[in-house]
Copies of this chain bind each other. A is one copy, B any other.
């Protein structure tokens, strides 16, 4: 049996790292030789969780085929969000909660996707199906992932299963869910000391929409104004990223985690498609999106449909 690597998407968020750690732990317990790695360093939010539960951050890799042939993807499937040499690897399994696109395999595989708020909610099911107990620190990381992905259950992506899973994991992790969750989310909103380039890369994903490539970044904050104080600098960096990486459009979603609203900033071509997607008018390249907190459910499908029509 050869070694397996498991990893989440590029610009890893807490679920990308937490789900990889949890899946690796489960499979190790079942006797597999598997290592959780990451396609980037942890965000401050994720680092808060890792420190709290005393777990080391996964080793960062940028390619896999030099060390393994078999990989498992968690929290993503689209190849452009995955490891650079994904097309040369044998994908054994995918555990995910996103749409499926730009993904294919030559062989049958294990694919488990469910329309829930967090990959870690599905991984908890896998532990139960295998009748394996979740260790405390792993439960803490899975709980952190659910809190992160659902913004403490405020996101429309959150399902009853996510809430139940988080409560169960909080018990195993021995933390007060609300208190720990808010502290962890706030740890991720410290944006003032970050360069605009860092900020745009904290949680950014690329999507193919129609014939175009669209970059959608999201940052969480407790002070939207503070972020937009640097709007000119942000726009310059977004335009520069578009040019360097051949993105047609760069959309930044700035989410107020307390008010559960977002403001959008768009730079690039097809701004009319952005306006159509959100039935809004951009003013100074910006639009306020009341009630929008989920990129997956309230941003990407709307943009995709707008680009497809």
Contact = CB atoms under 8 A, between A and B. Distances in A.
Interface of A: 97-115, 157, 296-297, 301, 304-305
Contacts of A105: 99-101
Contact of A110 (B109, B113, B301): B113
Instruction: Identify whether the interface residues of A are mostly helix, strand, loop, or mixed.
Output: loop
A253 to B, nearest CB: 18
A283 to B, nearest CB: 28
B110 A114 contact: yes
A121 to B, nearest CB: 12
Nearest to A98: B108
A104 B97 CA distance: 14
8 contacts: A99-B106, A99-B108, A101-B104, A106-B305, A107-B115, A108-B157, A109-B113, A112-B112
A98 B108 CA distance: 5
Contact of A113 (B97, B108, B296): B108
B97 A100 contact: no
A106 B100 CA distance: 8
Contacts of A305: 106
